[in-house]
Amino acid sequence: MAAPDYAPPRKRSVLIAGHATSISLEPMFWQALESAARQRELTINALVAEIDAARLDAPSPPNLTSAIRQWLFAARVAV
């Protein structure tokens, strides 16, 4: 397994229900999110909106950035 490309988070804006919000993710998570959106034939905004809606249904919702990381991990390892 190759060592990860360690890098600080990068902030990007996304639209959720017509409202802009900033998300800070490390580049590897942005790449994984872009790939997941492509696989599902969604825009990043649409996928983030789906993740956001799912997290709000959780008993103790995490912040959006944490929810995105957890969603990507769960999707990757098929938990």
Backbone φ and ψ for 11, nearest 5 degrees, come out as -90, 135
Supply the pLDDT for residue 5.
81
E-strand ranges in 1-79 read 10-16, 19-25
Supply the pLDDT for residue 76.
82
**Which pTM does this prediction carry?**
0.89
Supply the pLDDT for residue 79.
47
Residue 53 CA to residue 8 CA, distance in Å, equals 27
pLDDT tens across 45-69, in order?
999 999 999 999 999 999 999 999 9
Residue 69 CA to residue 75 CA, distance in Å, equals 10
Supply the pLDDT for residue 29.
95
Residue 35 CA to residue 68 CA, distance in Å, equals 13
Supply the pLDDT for residue 25.
97
